[in-house]
Amino acid sequence: MLKIIRKLFIFSMVLWFISNQNVLASSSALSNFAYGNQIKNKKQQFTNFKKAKQKLKVLVVYSSTSYFLYRGKTMGFEYELLERLSDMLDMDLEVVVSENIDSLIPDLLSGKADLIAHGITITEELKKTVLFTDYIYSTHQVLIQKKPHNWRQIKASELEKDLIRELKDLNKDTVWVRELSSYKNQLNHLNNDLGYAINIQVLDGSYSTDEIIDMVNRDIIKYTVADDNLAKINTTNMPDLDVVTPISGEQQIAWVVRPDSKELLNRINEQLHNAKKNTDFYVIYNKYFKNKTYYKKRLKSPYYSLKHGKISPYDKIIKKEAARIGWDWRLLSSVIYQESRFNPNAKSWSGAVGLMQMMPETAKAHGLYDPTNPKENIKAGATYLQQIFNQFKEIENTEQRIKFTLASYNSGYGHVLDAQRLAESKGKDKYSWDNHVESMMLELSKPEIYRKAIIKHGYARGVETYNYIKDIFQRYDNYQNFIKS
């Protein structure tokens, strides 16, 4: 009897070893729940995954309120709304950054994207060309002007005399705005319909509104025009600028789709209608347009992409280790953000520690005895990824091979092998993660699947791994938009 028990014990240990061979990365899956994954609740839709989701391609503008990178996290008013919208529409978000605001509508109409997520003023003229969503918010246009150099020493009444408060005082003076902007349209309206004589000079569409405001602050131009909410938040650290004088009445701001996208428009409007019923929408708005303390904090950070072009305090280390294993450093950065939010002291309930959330046994196997040491942790984690990568030599496509590597890092090499076998049994390509093995990974949480004879390593929380890969590569896409290699 004892011999039988001993044999059973040895057999179970062999099975355990096989299921964890070369990887032992299931600890990463556990740690991601606490530190890196921010797994979105998809209820049961992922476990019933049958085909690739449609993409929602969106044109955005890189700016201080719309779309930017801060401490490794993609942020912005438009971006946060888009994340929620794509979830509600059950579509994969693909961000396309416009290098020129004046080209937004031509690019949309040419099919480069499905939607423009940028604050565009609803006008009758544009309605002839595009379809507007329901309005996102309303605002009015204001004049951006500089106060006299001694404004702190003079009385408020004297200061008012030095500033333009009546639009007629702008006559024969010059205001700089983008060519294809609602600001220029409003100035033309003042000149043509109301008899003013304002000299309008145009700027290239590559300048964002916050950059043009800064040009006034640095005395490069004298006046410009901006939406009130943009003007107020962007002049938080520019006390010498005045943004009080209105140029227009209240105007509605919306997003835009092509004229042939009425079905998409209706779906977006339905979600916008629902979003505005929740406080979350207004919290996001206030976060980017009214929270001046938060705005100042971003400006001072060395990891604010609009100012410094950095991702994290560990960029130098990450670049070195990524080069050693032949990966893009921005991709490795996305992995580290997913694991620990760049917190070197991060520790999960399962015991995984450090930037790359390595379990103590795995860390020791790679010569890592102080997992809170950023340099050593990243080095060990990168080596570990390289070892896994080498297990998938039969996969020719590098991006697909990296996805298999990361899936193994997250859930364990054995589970990924199971997903490959399952894919092959169903006529799918076992060497392609996208649309093939990823869907089989989701199946491994079903009893009727993981109890099959071809499944050697049992139950896997496939939705976590599915989201893990999606999140890392979506963030990597954003990092490529923000940071040049």
Catalytic residue among 78, 321, 339, 376: 339
Candidates 461, 475, 344, 476; CA nearest to 33 is: 461
**CA torsion angle for 363, 368, 370, 374 (degrees, to 10)?**
-100
- For the question of residue 339 being annotated catalytic, the response is yes
Instruction: List Cα–Cα distances, 168 to 189, 197, 347, 462, in angstroms.
Output: 13, 8, 63, 66
Candidates 478, 61, 473, 64; CA nearest to 301 is: 64
Quick check: helix, strand or coil at residue 354?
coil
Candidates 474, 461, 392; CA nearest to 433 is: 392
Are the C-beta atoms of 142 and 245 separated by less than 8 Å? yes
Q: How far apart are CA 407 and CA 468, in angstroms?
A: 8
Q: How far apart are CA 4 and CA 206, in angstroms?
A: 76
Structure tokens that stand for 175 in this block: 């205001």
Are the C-beta atoms of 415 and 22 separated by less than 8 Å? no
Quick check: helix, strand or coil at residue 202?
strand
Candidates 482, 392, 347; CA nearest to 30 is: 347
Residues with catalytic roles: 339
